[in-house]
Amino acid sequence: MENWKQNPRVFWTLGIPPSVWLLAFFIIPLGFLFVMSFSDKAIVDGQVSITGYDYLTGFTNYIRAFDPLYLGIMWKSVWISALATALCLLTAYPIAFGICFAKDKWKPLLLLLVVLPFWINLLIRTYALIAVFRTQGYLNKILGWVGLGPYEMLYNNFAVVFGLVYVYMPFMVLPLYATIERLDKSYLEASLDLGGSQFQTFMRVTVPLTMPGIVSGVILVFIPCLGSFLTPDLLGGANALMIGNVIERQFKAANDWPFGAALSFLLMYATFGALALRYLFSLRSKGVDV
Amino acid sequence: MTTFRPRFRPNRRSVLQGAGALFAGLTLLPRFSLAAEEKKLNFYNWDTYIGENTLAEFTDATGIEVKMDLYADNDELFAKLKGGNPGYDVIVPTNDYLERMIKADMVIPLDHSRIPNMSNIDTLFQDAQFDPGRKYSIPYMWGTVGIGFRKSAVSATPDSWKVLLDSDEYAGAISMLGDQQNVLGAGLKYLGYSLNSTNADELRKVEDLLIAQKKNIKVFAPDNGQDLLASGEVKLCQEWNGDIKQVMAEDEDLDFIVPKEGSLVWQDTLAVPKGAPHPENAMAFLNFILDAKEGAGIASTIQYATTNKAAKELMPAEYQNNPVIFPPADVLIKCEPNLYLGEEAIKQRDEILTRIRAS
Amino acid sequence: MSDAIVSIRNVTKAFPGGVTAVDNVSLDIAQNEFFALLGPSGCGKTTLRRMISGLETPTSGQIVIGGEDMAFTPPNKRPTNMVFQSYAVFPHMTVEQNVGYGLKVTGVATDEIRRRVGEALDMVKLTALAARKPDQMSGGQRQRVALARALVKRPKVLLLDEPLSALDAKLRDDMRMELTRLQETVGITFIIVTHDQDEALSMASRIAVMDKGAVQQVATPAELYEHPRSRFVADFIGKVNLIDARVHRQIGRKIDCELKGVGRMELASDGLVGGQVAVAVRPEKLKIAIAEPASAIRVQGRVRDVAYYGDTSHVVIEAADGLDLSVNVQNDTRLGGSGVERGQTVWVHWAPEDSIVLTE
């Protein structure tokens, strides 16, 4: 690849459309919301305006966001997302591992099976889960044949976590598969040869050497889970309120865009914080003094 | 060995080709009509909320093509129009949202001279608290919120909000609506207060009541409560009367009642948003809707209570006397329309709802 | 042999799909031997090695190590250890952790681990690099880590996979001497698996030459070189001239045969031979003379090519009947050169006992 300085015209011609796209559809709207998060609804004639805003009035929205009510909801979202991510990892790892050790001709088919649900609209997939899990759904019907149930599997935290794991599974399987596939199998053989059991080999060699894939998968699942509102909305019970639902309501029913913007950005800062922590952690483990 | 470096050399032909492609692309962007109104109407409506043949008959009568887009709730409608009208001519806001939009200067006054069929409107609805003189809207459908229930699953007819808000009898088999007007409103009515109260003490009592009851509520279902009732997920639900009526048609075991403490009575209206590209066509459309026959056609499709007296008279007796569609007078007295309470009050109530849902 | 440390008895390995990688191989490897499995790629040596270490199981046959049948013993329980061709040094551990890995996973006490790791690192002269990570080391250093890691376990058998192939010429020599020294010091059986005959010849005390899943010949390097028992072995090890010959009759331990391009002669032969045989002669056993020599076997021909290698020259001479003879000439005088030029007519002669009669 040549240095871009040698061909500035080509560089700018190719580089401008995506830059414009990024600017117009990502940076500018995000910037608008950012400004909004520091603003308030305008007060017109002594009454709070419906559509007008006073821009850049201060931190009132952020202060309100730190109210225990919202922090509690955010904490619950973190907790549910962490649980869903952990479960996703625990189920995806064996799947990715299994695909890696399958016969070569089966591999593309197996990968397709993992990715296929992804092609189907999220809403339809979630409704499908409802059809399976509700009191008169397919699962309860089948359990009924053997005299079990019916169980309450929907409209509770279980359903939300399951729904999140189900929806984000491909995001975890694919990076794991990519890393495991690239793993030199002779490391595993060496561990066995030196006396390690299968379990020891897995814990001491396979997992540390596939850590990059694990971390990628975790990030790819945890972050969308945090902000999800569709899954808790459809599958959750009276209890399943996540921060995504609250943010959605601010932009719709409550008509409080500044507050919604503040909550959204708080979520983003928390995400950046987690990513920064991970970066510092990886620097430390490389032997760089942090 | 020299490296081959591809050079970008724009010559005249490629520049012209590029420009031509650019212009062709630009023509695909939506255009603002500059000439006299073309025969088009953009209708933004709720799902399944117009007669089966109404739009086709309108096109037959006037030659105007109607394109209908759908929204799921008032919030979506409001959020869409808040940043500027994306090109709709007729919208269908509920009374409190119409009030909000009037205050925010988002709708235009109607040209009554073009809507002579307004005389068909029932006297009750010819004027409205939220739109004095019907300056900005015509009434469309009205209805109530109440309790949908499965007859075989309840010990007695649930004629009070108590079964949903203050009782363990049907723990885990109850669903409520999801918006603060209805959740808090039901509580306020049950405790004997006004649906539209902004009194902090009264609201706190409702909050405590609901937080205590929450463990018995299975889910807050803003739009599929009737499906949950029909499928047996819940035995009772707080729902709009029209939604329950639809599932009642398929299941004889279901019924609907407005609790004796009273409930919310709502009215949907038709209005013309500011910046509508075809205001003349909009007026013609509104007039068409108010026609007696068309009104009857709409009512028989969507089975809600019509505000059109002339249309109602054309409907069969089982419609006119149906207590689910037209609740008895003694209960109707206790019902209140939900008013637009101002942004501050909305914010306050929304936070109460968040607290209830997070508890 | 009674004190065989590794006994491979009629081992066959057939893979699904019809490939027989190892075909009824039987071998005995003695204690403290430096043994080599030598052969071209696809000969089955790698599969055999994997079966010894336990990473593959035989389709039929037995593998006995230290007197115990290994049929139900998984690799982590066998008294063998391996040094992989790629070294497989764990990249996420330091040298010290790598070497101590095998001890750690088998529950050895921490201070003993430290002691034995120290000894092992000392033995391969890597003590100074104990805290380094593999990505900061050279290939040769990593190999020594892999060696230490395997030897610290005190296995009965150490398997090495192409140990010199990844090293450059100078390192190769150093490592060769190092490995030989180590084997004598530690006193355990080394088995190297390689396709490189120089590796095998220079290090091993006995070599098994394999081809197409079967063992062709097991012998000491000298014996393999001077007494190959098949065309394959003669050709695979070192350079060789192979001359077709027809046997007229057998006289006791000699045969009366006609060598193509050379002539009729009597040669010693170990066993009964059939009609067509090959006579092998090593290039360094052939001598060039300008005048007709008095030897029993002499061929006249024209020099086709002279390749100069500094210490030797390889001369190719064209004789009658399409026979090409390769001769290794020692440049033993500084001023003489190889003594021949292209196009020159010369005589090639050799002693009859330098001919090897091969039947297959």
Orientation angle between helical segments A28-37 and A257-285, nearest 10 degrees? 110
Q: For chain A, which chains pass the contact test of at least 3 CB pairs under 8 Å?
A: B, C
Residues of C in contact with A194 (CB under 8 A): 76, 81, 101-102, 105, 149-150, 153
Average pLDDT (C140-164) is 92
Detail the DSSP E strand segments found in B191-272. Answer: 217-220, 236-240, 254-257, 265-271
C80 contacts A189? CB cut-off 8 A: no
pLDDT digits (tens, 9 = 90+) for B193-236: 999 988 999 999 999 999 999 989 999 988 788 889 998 889 99
**Interface residue of C65, C76, C145 to substitute, partner A, most A CBs within 10 Å:** C76
Residues of A in contact with C107 (CB under 8 A): none
CATH label, B40-142+266-328, candidates 3.20.20.70, 3.40.190.10, 3.10.310.30, 3.40.50.720: 3.40.190.10
CA distance linking residue A66 with residue C335, whole number of Å: 96
By the 10 Å C-beta count (0-12 exposed, 13-18 middle, 19+ buried), C344 is classed as: middle
Taking CA–CA distances from B228, the nearest residue in chain A reads A134
| Chains A and C touching, counted as 3 or more CB pairs less than 8 Å apart | yes
- Percent of chain A having pLDDT more than 70? 94
Of the two residues B115 and C265, the one the predictor is more confident about is B115
User: How high is the pLDDT of residue C93?
Assistant: 92
CA distance linking residue C10 with residue B357, whole number of Å: 75
| Residue among A191, A193, A197 whose CB faces C53 most closely | A193
- A242: domain CATH number is 1.10.3720.10
- Answer whether residue B1 shows pLDDT above 50: no
How far A194 CA lies from chain C's nearest CA (Å)?
5
Can you say how many angstroms the Cα of residue B297 is from the centroid of all Cα atoms in its chain? 19
Both ends of chain B: CA-CA distance in Å? 74
DSSP track, C199-260: HHHHH-SEEEEEETTEEEEEE-HHHHHHS--SHHHHHHSS--EEEEEEEEEEETTEEEEEET
User: How high is the pLDDT of residue C105?
Assistant: 92
Answer whether A121 touches B (CB < 8 Å).
no
Structural domain range at position A270: 66-285
Residues of A (135-154) whose Cβ lies below 8 Å from B = 135-136, 152, 154
Non-local CB neighbours of A286 within 8 Å, separated by 6+ positions: none
Q: How confident is the model at residue A252 (pLDDT cuts 50, 70, 90)?
A: confident
Position A176 in a domain: yes
CA distance linking residue B208 with residue B188, whole number of Å: 12
User: How high is the pLDDT of residue C12?
Assistant: 92
Interface residues of B toward A, Cβ cutoff 8 Å, are 5-8, 73, 75-76, 78-79, 82, 100, 103-104, 106, 172, 176, 179-180, 214, 217-220, 231-233, 342-344, 346-347, 350-351, 354-355, 357-358
CB of B174 within 8 A of CB of B164?
Answer: yes
CA distance linking residue B258 with residue C17, whole number of Å: 76
CATH superfamily of C4-232: P-loop containing nucleotide triphosphate hydrolases (3.40.50.300)
Q: Would you list the domain boundaries of chain B?
A: 40-142+266-328, 144-265+334-358
Residues of C in contact with A195 (CB under 8 A): 76-77, 102, 105-106, 153
Q: To the nearest whole number, what is the mean pLDDT of chain C?
A: 88
Residues counted in chain B: 359
Return the SS3 of B359: coil
How far B14 CA lies from chain A's nearest CA (Å)?
14
User: How high is the pLDDT of residue B17?
Assistant: 61
**Interface residue of A47, A54, A153, A155 to substitute, partner B, most B CBs within 10 Å:** A155
Residues of A in contact with C153 (CB under 8 A): 194-195
- Buried-state track B12-22, b at ≥16 Cβ within 10 A, e below 16: eeeeeeeeeee
Of the two residues C212 and B29, the one the predictor is more confident about is C212
Q: For chain B, which chains pass the contact test of at least 3 CB pairs under 8 Å?
A: A
User: What residue has token string 């190959």?
Assistant: C228
Can you say how many angstroms the Cα of residue B112 is from the centroid of all Cα atoms in its chain? 24
Q: How confident is the model at residue B10 (pLDDT cuts 50, 70, 90)?
A: low
Q: How confident is the model at residue C337 (pLDDT cuts 50, 70, 90)?
A: low
CA distance linking residue B162 with residue B259, whole number of Å: 9
Q: How confident is the model at residue A109 (pLDDT cuts 50, 70, 90)?
A: very high
B343 contacts A41? CB cut-off 8 A: yes
Enumerate the CATH 3.40.50.300 domain ranges in chain C, comma separated.
4-232
Token pair of C187 as six digits: 């006193």
User: What residue has token string 């091969």?
Assistant: C358
Position A80 in a domain: yes
Non-local CB neighbours of C76 within 8 Å, separated by 6+ positions: A192, A193, A194, A195, A196, A197, C54
Q: What is the DSSP letter of A265?
A: H
pLDDT digits (tens, 9 = 90+) for B32-77: 444 467 899 999 999 888 988 999 999 999 999 999 999 988 888 9
- Percent of chain C having pLDDT more than 90? 42
Helix (H) or strand (E) holding C128: none
User: How high is the pLDDT of residue B33?
Assistant: 45
User: How high is the pLDDT of residue C2?
Assistant: 56
Domain count across chain A: 1
Token pair of A66 as six digits: 């730190």
Residues of A (229-288) whose Cβ lies below 8 Å from C = 287
A236 contacts B343? CB cut-off 8 A: no
CA distance linking residue C81 with residue C147, whole number of Å: 10
| Whether pTM exceeds 0.90 | no
Token pair of A35 as six digits: 């400004």
User: How high is the pLDDT of residue C185?
Assistant: 87
Return the SS3 of A187: helix
User: How high is the pLDDT of residue A206?
Assistant: 92
Of the two residues A274 and C293, the one the predictor is more confident about is C293
User: How high is the pLDDT of residue B101?
Assistant: 92
CATH code of domain C239-358: 2.40.50.140
Q: Helical H runs in chain A?
A: 8-22, 28-37, 60-65, 68-100, 107-119, 122-133, 138-145, 157-182, 185-193, 198-201, 207-209, 211-227, 230-235, 243-251, 257-285
CA distance linking residue B49 with residue B193, whole number of Å: 32
**Interface residue of B75, B80, B164, B224 to substitute, partner A, most A CBs within 10 Å:** B75
Q: To the nearest whole number, what is the mean pLDDT of chain A?
A: 85
Average pLDDT (B336-347) is 86
pLDDT digits (tens, 9 = 90+) for C1-57: 557 889 999 999 998 888 899 999 999 999 899 999 999 988 989 999 999 999 999
Query: Which residue from A255, A281, A285, A243 is spatially nearest to A79, judged by alpha carbons?
Result: A243
User: How high is the pLDDT of residue B2?
Assistant: 47
Answer whether A203 touches C (CB < 8 Å).
no
A47 contacts B357? CB cut-off 8 A: no
Residues of A in contact with C106 (CB under 8 A): 195
CATH superfamily of B144-265+334-358: Periplasmic binding protein-like II (3.40.190.10)
Please, what is the Cα angle at C227 between C224 and C232, to 5 degrees?
65
Average pLDDT (B274-291) is 93
Query: Which residue from C353, C358, C37, C354 is spatially nearest to C229, judged by alpha carbons?
Result: C358
